[in-house]
């Protein structure tokens, strides 16, 4: 077979390939069941033949990278990766995002590469803080959001209560595509409002290891009253009627504009509700072509893409660095040349990988919508744009100024070089930011958005760079780059501020608390306090 790179790409084929892409992320609060749902989606996509327990998936992740043992110990997902699978002729890119609040920065970046999101809600807990934060990022981009209410095999809130909460807290209309019949021990299944049939929940079946063959029954079928009991059946009919009369009608255009969220109920643990969810999701979720106001048409024959995430040492035996690229137009072919806009140079995009469950596969070609992991000897930065033909601006990637700061103290001074290398690489990944304190012998200071990132930093420095450090946290809350006239000495003498230099040698001001921030704002009208470096 001839290599893919030499085959002609017809506009028809490009259109067809782009049309079957779905690229999405799951947003949720820790413990809502994201790991379980991800695993089950892979099971339904045929990427995992028999899903193990969540624990064994965590163990498998552990084998991929040694630093993830922290994730296993803590039961949180630190890294975000990309998983790909096919479902009913659709090619799905699932961006796996970390669930813990402290890693939200990475999650926000990952959302920039997604075209839609699945918001996972625990039926007992409803909308939780991390979900609200992530939803806001999606709504800023008017991204379509699908809601999956999980853990229906447990008792929780009433579905109408959850709908109301989502509508008031998140400000988005909700349209249930299916409707639950009971919950917890009395969970009987869901009513599909589109097909008007009931999908029955079988609690005696496999416990989520294999795909369930759901039994369905028409709503008018007299047998349903026997199954649900006369009272249960009457209640269901009443609820269906209420939804028809009082509920918002489904409107695909509104979904695509991020104004309406289709809602599904199920139980990821027992696999219930996954097939109906996937069936409608692939129909309703936008392909790259359906995304509103794209910076470039995905079916433009010329290739373009942008880097949204960099991760070093994913595999300890290779010590490699992977740059994750979202393709925004055209086709990628293995080892192709593309133009790196920031440096105005052409380079080979080598060793492309896609990720199926815990395995990596080399790819020959990929299309707009796909995510690729590129081998990166240190060429790329987050936000880089790559293209053939006319250059394309990268999608905007949200940036956040750090809120936690610590002095780095090296236990063995002879390992300075390794420390610098480690800090350099980890800051290029965007996990931390590195500063120096010019007035105190250029002491190294690290800044992070979440405090847990310091623990990750310590762990990774020790395991990946063989460097042991102590991190002495500093009592500052804000960091601001400076625009305008700035008298460094004046701020250096204050107790409520500290002056640092970033890696480009730009001055950055740490402020102890909200009072300090307001004080400088009000009393120094000549300087501008910026949350991002000037010019970015």
Could you tell me which residues are annotated as the binding site for GTP? 28-35, 96-100, 150-153
Report 465-524 residues binding ligand G4P (CB under 6 A): none
What phi and psi, each to the nearest 5 degrees, are found at residue 326?
A: -95, 125
Looking only at Cα atoms, what is the longest distance across the chain?
84
Contact flag: residue 80 with ligand G4P (CB under 6 A): no
When binding is defined by CB under 6 A, the residue of 137, 269, 363, 517 that contacts ligand G4P is 269
- For residue 38, the minimal CB distance to ligand G4P (Å) is 8
At its nearest, how many Å lie between ligand G4P and the CB of residue 156?
10
Applying CB under 6 A, does 267 fall inside the site for ligand G4P?
Answer: yes
- 107 interacts with ligand G4P by CB under 6 A: no
With CB under 6 A as the contact rule, which of the stretches 149-157, 255-263, 488-496, 512-520 interacts with ligand G4P?
149-157
Contact between 99 and ligand G4P per CB under 6 A: yes
The DSSP code sequence of 497-530 is: EEEEE-TT--EEEEESSHHHHHHHHHH-TTEEEE
Among 20, 154, 360, 521, binds ligand G4P (CB under 6 A): 154
Q: Who contacts 503 (Cβ-Cβ below 8 Å, separation ≥6)?
A: 427, 434, 435
Binding range to ligand G4P, per CB under 6 A, among 51-59, 218-226, 284-292, 315-323:
51-59
- Phi first, then psi, for residue 370 (nearest 5°) are -75, 155
Distance CA 532, CA 536 (A): 7
* 22 neighbors 91 (Cβ within 8 angstroms): yes
Residue 219 backbone dihedrals phi, psi, to 5 degrees? -60, -30
Which residue in the block uniquely carries the two structure tokens 């704002």? 521
Instruction: Give the number of residues in contact with ligand G4P, rule: CB under 6 A.
Output: 20
Cβ 11 to ligand G4P shortest distance, Å: 41
34 binds ligand G4P (CB under 6 A): yes
Tell me: does residue 271 bind ligand G4P (CB under 6 A). no
User: Closest CB to ligand G4P among 77 and 260?
Assistant: 77
Among 23, 33, 236, 369, binds ligand G4P (CB under 6 A): 33
Strands 260-265 vs 215-218: parallel, antiparallel or unpaired: unpaired
Between residues 30 and 533, which has the closer beta carbon with respect to ligand G4P? Answer: 30
User: Using the rule CB under 6 A, is 32 a contact of ligand G4P?
Assistant: yes
Under the criterion CB under 6 A, does residue 150 sit at the interface with ligand G4P?
yes
Annotated binding-site ranges: 28-35, 96-100, 150-153
Are 328 and 292 in contact, with CB atoms under 8 Å apart?
no
- Torsion over CA of 292, 296, 298 and 300, rounded to 10 degrees? 140
Q: Which stretch binds ligand G4P (CB under 6 A): 134-142, 150-158, 357-365, 503-511?
A: 150-158
- DSSP at 395: P
Structural tokens at position 227: 């199954």
Kindly state the smallest distance separating residue 242's Cβ from ligand G4P, in Å: 26
CA angle 197–199–200, rounded 5-degree value: 130
Q: Confirm or reject binding of residue 54 to ligand G4P (CB under 6 A).
A: yes
Q: Does 182 bind ligand G4P (CB under 6 A)?
A: no
The token duo for 345 is: 């140079």
* Residue 391 DSSP one-character state: -
- Give the Cβ contact number of residue 434 at 10 Å: 18
Pull the structure tokens for residue 511: 């402020």
Least distance from ligand G4P to the Cβ atom of residue 267, Å: 4
Sign (positive or negative) of CA dihedral 304, 308, 310, 311: negative
133 binds ligand G4P (CB under 6 A): no
Residue from 21, 62, 151, 157 binding ligand G4P (CB under 6 A)? 151
Name the residues that contact ligand G4P, by CB under 6 A.
28, 30-36, 53-55, 77, 99, 150-151, 153-154, 267-269
């Amino acid at each position: 077979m001839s290599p893919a790179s030499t085959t002609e790409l017809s506009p028809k084929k490009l259109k067809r390939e782009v049309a079957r892409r779905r690229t999405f992320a799951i947003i949720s609060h820790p413990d809502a069941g994201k790991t379980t749902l991800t695993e089950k989606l892979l099971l339904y996509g045929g990427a995992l033949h028999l899903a193990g327990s969540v624990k064994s998936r965590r163990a498998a992740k552990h084998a991929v990278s040694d630093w993830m043992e922290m994730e296993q110990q803590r039961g949180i997902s630190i890294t975000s990766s990309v998983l790909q699978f096919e479902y009913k002729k659709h090619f799905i890119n699932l961006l796996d995002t970390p669930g813990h609040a402290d890693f939200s920065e990475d999650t926000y970046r990952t959302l920039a590469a997604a075209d839609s999101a699945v918001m996972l809600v625990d039926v007992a807990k409803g909308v939780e803080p991390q979900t609200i934060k992530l939803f806001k990022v999606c709504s800023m981009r008017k991204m379509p959001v699908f809601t999956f209410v999980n853990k229906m095999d447990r008792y929780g809130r009433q579905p109408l209560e959850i709908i109301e909460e989502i509508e008031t807290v998140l400000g988005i209309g909700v349209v249930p595509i299916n409707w639950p019949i009971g919950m917890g021990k009395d969970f009987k299944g869901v009513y599909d409002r589109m097909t008007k049939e009931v999908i029955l929940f079988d609690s005696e079946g496999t416990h989520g290891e294999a795909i369930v063959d759901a039994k369905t029954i028409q709503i008018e079928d007299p047998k349903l009253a026997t199954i649900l009991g006369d009272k249960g059946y009457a209640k269901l009919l009443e609820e269906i009627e209420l939804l028809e009369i009082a509920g918002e009608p489904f409107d695909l255009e509104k979904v695509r504009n991020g104004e309406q969220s289709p809602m599904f109920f199920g139980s990821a643990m027992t696999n219930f509700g996954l097939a109906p969810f996937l069936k409608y999701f692939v129909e309703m979720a936008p392909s790259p072509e359906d995304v509103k106001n794209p910076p470039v048409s995905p079916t433009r024959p010329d290739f373009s893409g942008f880097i949204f995430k960099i991760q070093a040492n994913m595999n300890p035996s290779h010590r490699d660095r992977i740059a994750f690229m979202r393709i925004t137009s055209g086709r990628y072919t293995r080892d192709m040349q593309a133009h790196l806009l920031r440096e105005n140079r052409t380079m080979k995009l080598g060793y492309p990988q896609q990720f199926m469950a815990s395995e990596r596969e080399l790819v020959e070609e990929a299309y707009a919508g796909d995510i690729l992991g590129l081998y990166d000897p240190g060429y790329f930065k987050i936000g880089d744009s790559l293209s053939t033909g006319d250059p394309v601006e990268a999608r905007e990637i949200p940036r956040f100024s750090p809120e936690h700061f610590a002095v780095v103290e090296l236990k063995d001074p002879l390992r300075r070089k390794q420390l610098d290398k480690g800090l350099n690489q980890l800051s290029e990944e965007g996990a931390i930011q590195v500063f120096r304190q010019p007035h105190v012998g250029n002491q190294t200071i690290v800044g992070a958005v979440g405090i847990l990132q310091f623990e990750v930093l310590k762990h990774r420095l020790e395991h990946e760079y063989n460097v042991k450090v102590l991190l002495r946290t500093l009592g500052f809350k804000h960091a601001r780059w400076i625009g305008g006239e700035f008298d460094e000495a004046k701020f250096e003498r204050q107790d409520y501020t500290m002056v640092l230099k970033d890696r480009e040698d730009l001055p950055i001001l740490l402020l102890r608390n909200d009072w300090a921030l307001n004080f400088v704002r009000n009393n120094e009208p000549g300087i501008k306090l910026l949350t991002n470096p000037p010019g970015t």
